[in-house]
Structure 1
Amino acid sequence: MRVLFDHQIFEMQRVGGISRYFFELITELSTLGIEWQLPIEYSENQYLRSLSTEIKKFPPEIRDFLPDLKFRGKKYLYKLKEKVNPTPDFKSVNKQKTIKALKEGNFDVFHPTYYDDYFLEYLNGKPFVLTVHDFTHELYPEFFLKDPYMVKKKVLLENAAHIIAISHTTKTDAINFYNVPAEKITVCYHGNSLTGIPKPIDIPTRYLLYVGGRDTYKNFYFFLRAILPIVNQDNTIKILCTGKPFSLAEKKYFTDLGINERLVHIAVNDAELSFLYQNAIAFVYPSLYEGFGIPILEAFQYGCPVIASNTSSLKEIGGDAVAYFSPKDQVSLQITISSLLSDLSFRQQLVAQGYERVKQFSWRDTAITTKNAYTIALRASIS
């Protein structure tokens, strides 16, 4: 079987859950006898660049032109350079490479990596399989600007030969929002990529760990307001965050809340993130909605107790190895954290159950289930 992937998510993400999913999937499919193509020339994606040394970095823009020099006429000189030696439009180059592969037709199944529907006119009767990751935009439209991908997402859900949902929650949402027939959807869980040896770094003695984005539905600011009485009572506890550095607006909010001195930001790689999980009091996941929730598996892997919202897929993935709370009830979160802080046996129970729970998820299983979905799509296209 030959599968063609496209460039989309590898242009959009330098790191991130969706691009990591496709990277791990492609890697595992190779071990199952699946031939794959990924026609892409430009990408800054870290996972993809480890897969191929031939991937070029994004071509320089004006901000990258003579970056250490400031002089009058620099903009004019850049324009002159562009006339003589134009900078390639990396998005156009990548898309054209995929279109070329589509036209050549040397594949059995096409698997787009995001929701742009540009490829539909080039399939020439070949089936495509679509992975849907979540329905956050549909559930919480108030958190987002108008997204052109949402219209295209609907079109792709209607036209896909088969659909992969990353959890039963996501499958249910696809049925409820877009009336997708249940038999057209295969649930295919993610695996855990964070399995290496932790790398020690300088960290606070005691901290609650928060990983990833902090905006809107991630519910980070609710978490801070809820945790305030606990950190005021115990001044040894810090809140350690990864992800993007704190913005000026965030720092002002922290100061206004009176919690600024308790927040620590650390930019980490995978080995350092493992160390953060390994040494945290707990990993707190207050999100209102997740299609899957890979950080739960990461925490399990390194013996970190997990405190998470009792919503969406999080209970599905966490099972009985997580301490849950209501993500709109501050008292609920306070009680859950306090229980973990005061009850050592409860903490040890969560750690033990987490070690067992994470064994149920692997990228190998992801690839096997995905291969089955490709087979279903091929049969559907023939019939």
Structure 2
Amino acid sequence: MKVAIPVSAAFPSAGGGYTFESEIVAALIDLASEIHHQVTIFSGAKGDGQETPHPNLTILHPPSQLMAGAIPAVLRQGMSLAHASGSPKLANQADKVQAAFVRRFILQNRFDFAWVLAPAALIQCPRQIPYALTLWDLQHRLQPYFPEVSQGREWGKRERFYRANLPRATYVVTGTERGKAEIERFYQIAPERIQVIPFPTPRLGDAIANHASTKEEFLAQHRLPSQYFFYPAQFWPHKNHYNLLKAFKTLVSEHKDVALVLTGSDKGNASYVKQLIHDLDLVAKVHILGFVSKEELANLYKYALALVFPTHFGPDNLPPLEAFSLGCPVIASQVPGAAEQLGDAALLVDQRDAAQMAWAMKSVCGDEALRHNLIQKGLTRAKSWQPQDYARRLIALLDEFESIRYCWPNSTSHPSNT
């Protein structure tokens, strides 16, 4: 089959979506020789390997294709200015131009199937062809009170999207059985069309494999104390910085040398979090580093006392898996599905209970045997499911669907001897 894989997130600042898509793309490139389909990856990020790693796998960079003359020069310039402006509305319009180009390309080149790694990428797929859709969560149904899934027209936009596109998907892909149950519950999708493929452990350790700095060097560079808890999360309300800060306030009353490090882009809640830090008299104890590079992120995990991950959303989250792979103990919220994703490798706490969170942080500070046990279980969990494992499941589903797809004509990949 001719398979299109559109990628939605072109920038690391997009967070977990960028990490997930880039990991799967990299794994598919690694496994190119095992793929007998003709796969084209539409990558918004330059440098994802414009060279062809194998005859059956091609990587196209749609913005470059557009800039090469497929649209008038004035429109090309407008797209560049839109992304450079930092305006979400202008960037959204530029993305629509790019999506229209990809849709036309897929139709004109008679693709058989599309694998959509993130809901935002579905806009790049013409609905005339079958598709698989990876789904992260349905929190607008489960927790509609959070502003990021309800304010403005966001709730209705999400609901219309899922109602229109989940029933038509060949496969709906989720990371846990809990996620599968939610899809069945809210959208009445036939269970046999819902595929559970656990999210893989990101290969973040590769970022420091060849140029790791010592702990002393790294901490001095960033002016960090020797003992700190770490929370990498964009500043959304559902990330629950509120209860984390309350728990940390309790912790520092007994462990005065411990700090808290926060990273991530501002999604509208950063000023509120900074005010909480001030009100709780934690300004000297909380370090906000903003968006950091992959190398910095890996080192922050590596040298932390533990990751504290109190998010209200789930069940699939990547930071605990990143922490596992770098020998960082994990304290995570007990959202439905968390135990399925993380097993017994993490301390799970009620994300609404700051006292319980503080107890877990104190336990990691004071019990070296517990910390060592969490590190070892985390490393084992990290190794058990890698991006190449996920990619092989993806390839297996393409193989499974191939005989069905050839029941009607389309691409030049149709076997000539049948």
| RMSD of aligned residue pairs (Cα, Å) | 2.9
- Matched ranges for 1:167-246 at <5 A: 167-191=176-200, 192-196=202-206, 197=208, 198-199=212-213, 200=218, 201-202=221-222, 203-244=224-265
Task: Give the fraction of aligned pairs with identical amino acids, expressed as a percent.
Answer: 21
**Which string of whole-angstrom CA distances, capped at 9 and with x for unpartnered residues, describes residues 307-337 of structure 1?**
1112233222221111111111222212212
- Whether the 8 Å contact between 2:175 and 2:197 is mirrored in structure 1 is yes
* Map of 2:413 onto structure 1: none
CA distance, structure 1, for counterparts of residue 387 and residue 122 of structure 2: 27
Is 2:287 the counterpart of 1:264? yes
| Corresponding residue for residue 274 of structure 1 | 298
Q: Indicate whether 1:97 and 2:97 are aligned.
A: no
- With the length of structure 1 as denominator, give the TM-score of the two structures: 0.83
Hey, what does 1:357 align to over in structure 2? 381
Flag as ranges the 4+ runs of structure 1 deviating above 6 A.
Answer: none
Q: Pick from 132, 135, 139: which aligns with 1:136? A: 139
Aligned residues between the structures: 354
2:119 alignment partner, SS class: coil
| 2:319 maps to 1:295 | yes
Q: Are 2:339 and 1:315 aligned?
A: yes
**Structure 1 counterpart of 2:21:** 22
Per the alignment, residue 158 of structure 1 pairs with 167
Question: 1 CA distance for matches of 2:123 and 2:307?
Answer: 40
Distance (Å, rounded) in 2 between the aligned partners of 1:129 and 1:327: 32
Contact 1:167 1:292 in 2 (8 A): yes
Post-superposition offset of 1:62: 10
Deviations 1:270-316 (A, max 9, x none): 12111111111111011122232211111111111111112233222
Q: Where does structure 1 lack aligned partners over 5 or more consecutive residues? A: 66-86
Asked if the contact 2:244/2:310 (under 8 Å) is kept, the reply is: yes
Residue type of the alignment partner of 1:169: R
The answer to whether the Cα contact below 8 Å between 2:315 and 2:341 also exists between their aligned partners in 1 is no
Post-superposition offset of 1:90: 2.7
CA distance in 1, matches of 2:274, 2:312: 23
Tell which deviates more after alignment, 183-192 or 12-21: 12-21
Alignment partner for residue 158 of structure 2, among 141, 146, 149?
149
Does the CA contact (< 8 Å) of 1:278 and 1:302 recur in 2?
Answer: yes
> C-alpha separation between the residues in 2 aligned to 1:336 and 1:368?
37
Question: Unpaired segments of 5 or more residues in structure 2?
Answer: 52-60, 68-78, 408-418
TM-score normalised to structure 2 length: 0.76
For 2:114, give the aligned amino acid: F
CA distance change for structure 1 residues 115 and 378 in 2, over 3 Å: closer, same or farther? farther
- Distance in 2 separating the partners of 1:36 and 1:173: 31
* SS of residue matched to 2:80: coil
Counterpart of 1:50, as a letter, is D
Matched residue, 1:72: none
